[in-house]
Amino acid sequence: MPYAGAMARLRAAQREMTRTLLLDAGLDLFVSKGYATTTVDDIATAAGTTRVTFYAYFPSKVEVVKALLAERLNALLARVPSAERGSTENELVAVVEDGSPERIRSWLATTSERWDAIRPYTTTAHAAAAVDPEIRTLLDEWLDEAIGDIRDGLDRAERFPATTRHFRSVLAITELDHVARQWQPDRWGVARDEMLDVLAESWVASIGRRR
């Protein structure tokens, strides 16, 4: 029995390693080659396995993107499962509820330190969404979860007219998503601290608590 248990754990570890290799290979290829031109065979070969093995783990490359977003990107962003919607970032909700310029600026600064790590995932998602309606829907739902976090914070604070809170949340997340995907040092003629200052000013104006 101990031997059987050890073998079962070994098989489980091997399966997890193969799945990880497939996800790693998929992300690398989606970034370097593009989602539209990357095939299942490309991913399997890059992972050192076969097409048959790929399909034992994922029904399609769409499912690879789903796993990259739901598992890895959410982990990077500290998003946790939510009963109300797919995921939530509790700290973001708390920051928006507080609404102070200082706390918003601090949260944006902390988040910006992860932009390099999350960019491959968000870039892949947007590229895939442009050619695959299923990913488009998935990306919209994922962004709606972040929008919902801001809306929750505004609702808790009872800040701004209720009829404008959702739209304000859309503006804030759309702005953040674009900047996070596009930002490079000194791009747009501003250094990192200046960029964060301006971004924070915009967030305070649209969703924050004014002094």
pTM of the predicted protein model: 0.87
Q: Which token pair is 114?
A: 């992860």
Residue 2 scores a pLDDT above 80 = no
Map tokens 């299942």 to a residue. 40
Residue 87: strand pairing partners: 81
pLDDT band at 86 (very low <50, low <70, confident <90, very high): confident
* Burial (CB count within 10 angstroms: exposed 0-12, middle 13-18, buried 19+), residue 149: buried
Mean pLDDT of 74-101: 91
Q: Which token pair is 35?
A: 């989602």
Which CATH number is associated with domain 60-207? 1.10.357
Secondary structure element (H or E) that encloses residue 154, with its range: helix 133-157
For residues 210 and 188, the model is more confident at 188
pLDDT band at 85 (very low <50, low <70, confident <90, very high): confident
Q: Where along the chain do its domains lie? A: 1-58, 60-207
Q: Which token pair is 155?
A: 């609702």
For residues 171 and 79, the model is more confident at 171
pLDDT-above-90 percentage for the chain? 81
CATH 1.10.1740.10 fits 1-58, yes or no: no
CB 123 within 8 A of CB 73: no
Residue 167 scores a pLDDT above 70 = yes
Map tokens 């924070």 to a residue. 200
46-60 pLDDT, tens digit each: 999 999 999 999 999
